[in-house]
Amino acid sequence: MHRRTQPHTYRRTQQPRTPRRTALAVSAALLVAAPLLTACGSDAHPGAAAVVGGERIDVASLQAQVKDVRDAQAASPESAQLVAATGDLDRRKLNSMIFDQVVEEVARDHGVTASRAELQRTRTAFVRQSGGEDRLAAALLQEQGVAPDQIDGVVRRNVLLNKIAAEVGADDSPEGQKKLTDVFTAASKDLGIDVNPRYGAWDDAQIQLATATPPWLRRISQDPNAAGAGA
């Protein structure tokens, strides 16, 4: 296992002016599939789906998240289609769980936090632009495999990522996206992420499981109230 190194220090920059539309899956802007081999999750860490910065993500915790999604899908009129479209749900959920820890690491490194007011404003914006709580929940379940009780995590991820992007001066241009990706790649390497081989392998450069197929975020916004739904 790798040991976690000291966080990087970055100078605060002025928030960039960016387009209004922001996807709910903001984290996925950094992700693209690529093969990589790694070793973890065997005898050294029994019962672990992954180890991130020395902290375990237990298989039981992963399975609980998967169950929440499957239960929500089962209650949907489109249950069969939803289940068929998320055959790799365990990998998708593990990918999100690992990525969220990388986001938290980068946020700590840059002194970025998410206040209760910011979280509430962002969720309210998502609900309003989706046409209501039920429609927001249905869209996230269908498009991202997110259960209703996991929506707060999506909101937090968006708030942190938008603030991190502003902090490092990254917009939605190719140069801005590269700057943001470089920051997350460095943090991912620092965390020494090891994944149980049954779930695939973690790619620090692409910041995702090589087997994951998450939706893509198209834009990043500096204004949580302007965040819009969509992949």
Q: What pLDDT was estimated at residue 210?
A: 86
Q: Is residue 4 part of a domain?
A: no
Q: How many domains does the chain have?
A: 1
Q: Is residue 84 part of a domain?
A: yes
Q: Is residue 8 part of a domain?
A: no
Q: What pLDDT was estimated at residue 74?
A: 97
Q: What pLDDT was estimated at residue 106?
A: 98
- Give the Cα-Cα-Cα angle 124, 125, 127 (nearest 5 degrees): 65
Q: Is residue 1 part of a domain?
A: no
Return d(Cα 32, Cα 106) in angstroms, integer: 19
Beta strand ranges found along the chain (DSSP E) = 48-52, 55-58, 194-195, 202-203, 208-209
Return d(Cα 67, Cα 71) in angstroms, integer: 6
Q: What pLDDT was estimated at residue 211?
A: 60
Q: Is residue 85 part of a domain?
A: yes
Q: Is residue 6 part of a domain?
A: no
Q: Is residue 20 part of a domain?
A: no
Residues 6+ apart with CB under 8 A from 128: none
Q: What pLDDT was estimated at residue 46?
A: 81
The pair of structure tokens assigned to 14 is: 């002025």
- Residues in the chain, pLDDT under 70: 1-44, 211-231
Averaged pLDDT of the chain = 80
Q: Quick one: which of 179, 180, 231, 188 has its CA closest to 207?
A: 188
- 161 CB neighbour count, 10 Å cutoff: 24
Residues 6+ apart with CB under 8 A from 81: none
Q: Answer for the pair 63, 188: CB distance below 8 angstroms, yes or no.
A: no
Q: Is residue 12 part of a domain?
A: no
Q: What pLDDT was estimated at residue 212?
A: 57
* Type of residue numbered 60: A
Q: Answer for the pair 196, 87: CB distance below 8 angstroms, yes or no.
A: no
Q: What pLDDT was estimated at residue 202?
A: 96
Q: Answer for the pair 53, 101: CB distance below 8 angstroms, yes or no.
A: yes
* Type of residue numbered 178: K
The pair of structure tokens assigned to 58 is: 């237990």
The residue range of the domain holding 222 is 26-226
